[in-house]
Chains A and B, each alone.
Chain A
Amino acid sequence: MTGPAPRAPAVPVEIRDIRKRFGGGTPALDAVTLSIRPGEFLALLGPSGSGKTTLLRILAGLEFADSGALLIGGRSMRNVPARERGIGFVFQQYALFRHMSVGRNVAFGLDVRPRSARPAAAEIRRRVQALLDLMEIGHLIDRYPDQLSGGQRQRVALARALAIEPSLLLLDEPFGALDAKVRKSLRIWLRKLHDQMGLTSVFVTHDQAEAMEMADRIAVLRDGRIEQVDTPATLYAEPASAFVHDFMGESVSLPCTVRDGAASVDGLADMPPIPTDCRPGPAVAVVRPHEIGLRPGPGPARVLACQIAGPMRRVLIGLGAHEYDVLVALDAWSPGVGDNCGVDLSRARVYPVSQ
């Protein structure tokens, strides 16, 4: 590839036992520890209020942790202010300088360097043009931010962040302000760009599909704590908690009780118990709708409704006092409405319920 790709080597990021509390309330971040590998594309995923943006802002130096250590490229960031970190930050609403043209926006990080470190004006111009070309918006160099579409602004914000040749790129909800269609195409494009640039990137999102599609690894946050850090495939197949299970995809939860290495679903004594290594006591069995098996013949489930949902058939069953959604392959056996049938929950994962 030709052009302005930053050649700073990608850096590792070490987050150790970071704590942060705003005002007096519950902690925004509670003992967060996380290692980000050089060149990795990591997603911070969580519902709003989970602390993911706070963590990103602490990485950038826009917010300060109450305690804990942060090492970027092996160097402690304790006394390094944001302006000296050389980290590319893409803001949620892009925060483009509204009174500057696209070109001036992108050149800003170079323009504010001390004279000795500042490239010549012609060199700055060349680099800005090359970056905008890389973002496929070279023709917009003289436009102003309010003359651009959301997707174009996003690209300008990226070009501006990349102009300072960062070794770490942080993105706060990079697609939050875009409509669904633009979002989809930008995801693929951004992932390609990351691979091309060889940077370490961290992005914040509340959209699990976005995180699954783009990230090498995902850190799932909840109430200021990291619940699990894993590859998208592992997170989906082996969620470490009921919360992660639920957050990573459609889930069905059944309260149950664990006794002697097996969980029996509450109120359904005649169901075969689910083997588990979960500790004894109250628990919850969580399963994805397509992992529930339906068997012909008499059984505890009563079919309430049945409809085609894309490539699958969605069957609503009544089980005990509750109703659950089950997804069945179109070519698999499926009961009719009003039938009774057997239910196979052996693929359910059992998590303890904290009391």
Chain B
Amino acid sequence: MSRAATQESRPTQMGLTVLTVALLVALLLLPLAVVLTQALKDGLAGVIESLSQPDALAAIRLTLLVAAVSVPLNAVCGLAAAWCVSRFRFPGRSLLITLIELPFSVSPVISGLVWVLLFGANGWFGPLLSRYGLRIIFAVPGLILATMFVTFPFVVRTLIPLMEQQGHAEEEAAITLGAGFWQMFWRVTLPNIGWGLLYGVLLCNARAMGEFGAVAVVSGHIRGQTMTMPLQVEALFNDYDWVGAFCIAALLALLALVTLVFKAILEWRIDRRGGGLL
């Protein structure tokens, strides 16, 4: 039997495989199993009871609201930014690309803190806001701002390589054939990047729902009002409400699993058809 030069001997192969699987179980599957068993400790009735607590429902609603606002906004802004960067050459372009990735490299705590420094009671715009009775920090707008900042790079980062690789010849063709800007956008640009956009939105959504650090800073932890699901998990955990904490944690984990499945499907599609719809 022939063996490629780069192939390791059999025992080494086996050893590496076992090690990988063991790590996978210990680091990924075990926590997931713990979350689920803890959540189900008091049976299904316990799960239903803790999830139907007003505070738990409020946390779920708030998380969905924050995601529902910040994800579409990020999709639109991300698309615009990706367009700008991939279609035009201008001074400061590479600086802009670096800036787009800033939220990835900055600690989430800082991402939350900037908003407090801007809009908090003692922040730059704090006095102005309080004069008009507007609240951003320790309120829903702050949660949305912090989430948007943290999740901004996902859509842009997915779209820039895709749009650069596709080039803009098809868009130019549409223009020479008499299409206006929006006709070009809806009929040519968007269908070509559709799956890529969806992929970016999916990643963005997963992070938006799961974000802890940045929202923890701006939330103020008002129960039933500014607690998102991850924050609620921590609060319940600190109250020794194990079942309550793990029920919401399990819900988040389930969400992550669903995201993972969609992500796998999208990756498979993009590999095959190159990012375009249809």
Q: Which residue of B lies closest to A89 (CB)?
A: B176
Q: Which residues of chain A from 163 to 201 have a CB within 8 Å of any chain B CB?
A: 163-164
Do the beta carbons of B172 and A83 come within 8 Å of each other?
A: no
Within 8 Å CB of A95, what residues of B?
A: 169-170, 172-173
Is the Cβ of B180 less than 8 Å from the Cβ of A83?
Answer: yes
Q: Type the 1/0 row for B167-185, where 1 means its CB is closer than 8 Å to any CB of A.
A: 0011011111111100100
Mostly helix, strand, loop or mixed at chain B's interface?
helix
Tell which of B177, B188, B191, B274 touches A164, judged by Cβ atoms closer than 8 Å: B177
Docked Cα-Cα span, A60 to B176, in Å, equals 7
The verdict on A139 contacting chain B, using a C-beta distance below 8 Å, is: no
The 8 Å CB contact of A108, one of B174, B192, B277, is B174
Interface membership of chain A positions 313-329, coded 1 if the CB is closer than 8 angstroms to chain B and 0 otherwise: 00000000000000000
Neighbouring B residues of A99 by C-beta, 8 Å = 191-192, 276-278
**CA A85 – CA B175 in complex, angstroms?**
10
B272 to chain A, nearest CB (A): 11
Which residues, 56 to 112 on A, are CB-close (under 8 Å) to B?
60-62, 82-89, 91-93, 95-99, 108-109, 111-112
Whole-angstrom distance between the alpha carbons of A108 and B186 in the complex? 13
Q: Are the CB atoms of A98 and B170 closer together than 8 Å?
A: yes
Within the complex, the shortest CB–CB distance from B184 to chain A, in Å, comes to: 8
B93 interfacial contact with A, CB 8 Å? no
Docked CA distance A44–B91 (Å)? 32
Q: Does B87 contact A (CB under 8 A)?
A: no
State whether A164 touches B178 (Cβ < 8 A): yes
Q: Are A82 and B175 interface neighbours, CB within 8 A?
A: yes
Interface residues on A, range: 20 to 34
Please give me the residue from chain B that is nearest to A113 by CB atom: B178
What distance in Å separates the Cβ of B276 from its nearest Cβ neighbour in chain A? Answer: 5
Given A99-B192, A99-B277: A93 and B178 within 8 A (CB)? no
Cβ contact within 8 Å between B173 and A112:
no
Report the nearest A residue to B174, measured CB to CB.
A108
Determine whether B41 belongs to the interface, using a CB cutoff of 8 Å to chain A: no
Partner of A89, one of B173, B179, B180: B173
Interface residue count on the B side (C-beta < 8 Å): 20
Which of chain B's residues have a CB closer than 8 A to the CB of A163? 177
* Complex-state Cα separation, A62 to B174, whole angstroms: 11
Cα distance A87–B176 in the bound complex, in angstroms: 7
Select from chain A the residue with minimum beta-carbon distance to B194. A99
Residues of chain B with a CB closer than 8 A to A61's CB? 176
| Interfacial residues of chain A within 231-257, with CB under 8 A of chain B in the complex | none
The one of A82, A87, A91 in contact with B169, judged by C-beta atoms closer than 8 angstroms, is A91
Determine if B276 and A83 form an interchain contact, defined as CB atoms under 8 angstroms apart: no
CB <8 Å contact, A62 and B191: no
Given the interface contacts A83-B178, A99-B276, A108-B179, does A91 sit within 8 Å of B192 by beta carbon? no
Q: Contacting A112 at CB < 8 Å: which of B178, B191, B277, B278?
A: B178
Q: How many Å lie between the Cα of A291 and that of B253 in the bound state?
A: 83
Q: Does A160 contact B (CB under 8 A)?
A: yes
Q: Which residues of B contact A86 (CB under 8 A)?
A: 178
Q: Which residues of A contact B276 (CB under 8 A)?
A: 98-99
- Interfacial chain B residues near A161, Cβ < 8 Å: 176-177
How far apart sit A84 and B277, CA to CA, in the bound complex (Å)?
Answer: 29
Docked complex Cα distance between A108 and B174 (Å): 8
Most chain-A CB neighbours within 10 Å: which of B169, B180, B183, B191? B169
Q: What are 13 A-B residue pairs whose CB atoms fall within 8 Å in the complex?
A: A61-B176, A82-B172, A83-B179, A83-B180, A89-B173, A91-B172, A97-B187, A99-B192, A109-B177, A112-B174, A113-B178, A161-B177, A164-B178
